[in-house]
């Protein structure tokens, strides 16, 4: 969730809600109270959404780290069926 986009969308939704509430009830005070309650509810669900996404990412990262831990570090430790290690040496003109 991109925060500025969420806040702009939230403000637009609250404005529409406030206009509709004022049109239905005709009371500024009722509109203000109900819009404030809506704001709190939206913020609660936004917080829950962010916590959910962070926990999902944490689980994904934990699985990745466990996979890397279980995987052999090099071909010498793993035996003949292991994938050969990648060389980080960049060839130069001297190598040719």
* CA separation for the pair 59, 56 (Å, rounded): 5
Mind listing the pLDDT tens digit of every residue in the chain (96 residues)?
677 888 899 999 999 999 999 999 999 999 999 999 999 999 999 899 999 999 999 988 888 877 777 666 554 455 555 555 555 666 666 666
Cβ 81 vs Cβ 33: under 8 Å: no
pLDDT of residue 75: 45
Distance CA 94, CA 71 (A): 35
Q: What's the predicted TM-score (pTM) here?
A: 0.58
How is residue 79 written in tokens?
A: 């035996």
């Amino acid at each position: 969730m991109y925060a500025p986009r969420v806040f702009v969308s939230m403000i637009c939704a609250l404005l529409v809600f406030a206009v509709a509430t004022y049109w239905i009830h005709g009371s500024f005070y009722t509109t203000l109270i109900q819009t404030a309650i809506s704001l709190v509810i939206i913020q609660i669900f936004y917080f829950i959404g962010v916590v959910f996404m962070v926990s999902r990412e944490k689980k994904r990262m934990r699985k990745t780290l466990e996979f890397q831990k279980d995987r052999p570090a090099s071909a010498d430790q793993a035996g003949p069926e292991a994938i050969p290690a990648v060389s980080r040496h960049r060839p130069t003109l001297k190598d040719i």
